[in-house]
Each structure stands twice: as C-alpha cells, then as structure tokens.
Amino acid sequence: MQMGTRWTAGAQPPASVPEDLWGPIAHVEALSVGTAGPAPRWTLTWLEGRPVAELDTGVIVTKDRTGAVVVQHDPDDTFA
C-alpha cells in the first residue's frame, strides 16, 4: 500500500512524489499559481499503483497505463 500526501504549491514536492512528475507539476504551478490569496495545495494519491497529483484548482498530473506523464483538468471540479 502506498500512502498519499499533501503539500503547498511552490514548495518542493515530498520524496513520495515520483521525480518524473516534478517537472510537469512545476510547469502547472508556473502557469496557474498567482500571488493573491493562499497558495493552492497538491494532494498525492495512488490509483492502481499509479501516482495522481491533484491541485486544488482541479489540475491533475498523473501517469497513464504506459507510464507517460499526463496533465489534465478534472471536468467534475466545480471550484476551478
């Protein structure tokens, strides 16, 4: 079993976040994190052994079944 974690956008991801997600996470933060208000937070969970990092804004960074990193927006997120 793999445990998830949370961290604030702009901070270095915890060691439990696979390093190949760090670049895409940093890219998402550069595009979406402003200076007004508190910084959004990331939540790392695991789905079928694959990492899923979701920003409070609804952006998701994950790996597909082939291991390729995918960045998408949660279509069900009503807060973004």
pLDDT digits (tens, 9 = 90+) for 45-67: 999 999 999 999 999 999 999 99
Average pLDDT over residues 30-39: 76
Residue 77: what pLDDT?
58
Residue spans of the domains in the chain: they are: 5-73
Sheet containing 50-55: order of strands: 5-8, 41-47, 50-55, 59-63, 69-73
User: Is residue 80 pLDDT above 70, yes or no?
Assistant: no
55 burial via Cβ count (<10 Å: 0-12, 13-18, 19+): buried
Spatial separation of the C-alpha atoms in residues 68 and 70, rounded to whole Å: 6
Predicted model pTM: 0.85
- Per-residue pLDDT tens digits for 1-14: 678 899 999 999 99
- CA-nearest of 79, 62, 4 to 28 is 62
For residues 51 and 31, the model is more confident at 51
